[in-house]
Structure 1
Amino acid sequence: MGNAPNPPPDGFPSPPRPQSRRYGEGETRPVKRTRESLFGWDIEEEHGSSYNEPSYEEWKLETMKTGLEDVPLNFSNPLCILSDDNEIIHVVVGKDATQWAIHRKLLCSQSNFFKTAIDSPFREGTENKVVLSEGQNDVFSLFVQWLYSGSFVTNSLPLLLQAYVLGDKLGSPGFQTLAFDKIYAFNISSCHLTAEQAVWASENTLPDSTLRRFTMDTMAFGLLNGSLNPSHEDWELLAPIQLDILRSVQSVAKKQEHNTWKQKPRLHYNKAI
């Protein structure tokens, strides 16, 4: 006979037996409470009774089902707007006259500019064709990508700035907001805006626009934390907006704690796009 393990001393319970449980599997545990479980199943408190605890995947699936019961289909799937939409709008962009074929319902639902132009008695409405002669195809391609996917991908800060301005021209606040979110993330820890970009943003936006306010704050933020070191030529380029930058220096400096030099939070710019 082998050596049997000594029983634990009185007052010292045996350690629990480890139970192997793979990710995604449920688990059987003793019930020690009386209330409805996560899914509304009744659980009775009885000594020795047990229940099958749902796995994470089961819980997530049930949560999604519960949350989507009352959600309209066109909300959960934005592309449902394309149902029975056989009408195509041709958009001609830039000097190269690049043509885009876009579903009418989708285009008009996301752009007040296109909706007004296409629903009008003018040429755009009768020909189902809109010409953006001053537009840039690489920027407009981001708008088309956003229309059909709800997002777009680019690592170019100049393109993001132009996307923001395009969203303003097209009357598309959703596209404009996404562009600004990416611009903000680009400059969250340090200033990556150049003098040329700051002046361009000022010249192509209204005085109270979100992008202009953020541009001035970011230039001020860069000057304060040392991530922006303008050259003599840069200061000359910044001459038209130097006063606005100085005002932002005062505003940004007031919000700092212990000289940490943090960028203003994203919610600070939620007042208006």
Structure 2
Amino acid sequence: MTTISAPPEQVLTTFGLTAHPPIAMTGAGVAGWRVGEVVLSLVPDRARAAWSATARENLYVEGMRVARPIRASDGRYVVSGWRADTYVAGSPEPRHDEVLAVADRLHEAIAKLERPRFMLQQPAPPFSDVDVFTAADRAAWEDVPLRAARSAGMDIEPAGDDAQQSIAALKTLAGLRRPVTSKSQVVHGDLFGTVLFAGAAAPAITDIVPYWRPPAWAAAVIVVDALAWGGAEEELITRWSHYDEWEQMLLRATIFRLAVHALHPRSTSGALPGLLRVVDQIRLLV
């Protein structure tokens, strides 16, 4: 993982973090600087960072630890592209069923949150990581997959064999979709690899990456990620099959990940074999 530059002095001063030197944090899923009991990290999108801070500020979820946002001296959540949160101990672990249980509790707690306005925005050049994930999410649900990406001017016919395999698998799964009726709400769409465990302590989250989808879809993304890259056994699918419209949610979660792989400029070929294994498993279910 590339180490990001240390936070500027002005950022440290505005957040009131001048008593301790910043220490770069390293490890899986970590990108930030620890300053005493606070973690500073760069944000990919200011609106989403401010929304997450607001959502987490007074959030209580039974059996979970939640990183709380730190406001700057002028009340802001984001200063020069940096946010500050309380430090929570732990690291990601392959405790997939526990991550899914976290998702259930978290989504119940945030079920009444309104849909943020920024979720209605279309991807626009120059395309950021957020735009790529937005287009990939819509690809899994729109009648013609990748229509939003095409309309925005994204390259949806990439030249590499790797990306072309992703597109081909995506189109195959898209043909298996059926209408769904599950209700959408704000969900955390990136829980795999971001839930922190520290022994017997309650699991922790440091962010909420918002999507407007059914909670079962967010759970399906966790399962797809765990099967593709987390070494999870195939039985994980059936253990959580009590979700409504589960097979269709798994389809859409897999399409989402295939679209991210095809569209994202930093995708690596090593990620595709795991995804294609999931494609084979999901095709047998529907």
- TM-score normalised by L of structure 2: 0.27
Rg comparison, structure with higher value: 1
Structure having the higher helix fraction is 1
- TM-score normalised by L of structure 1: 0.28
Of structures 1 and 2, the one scoring higher in RCO (CA 8 A, sep 6+) is 2
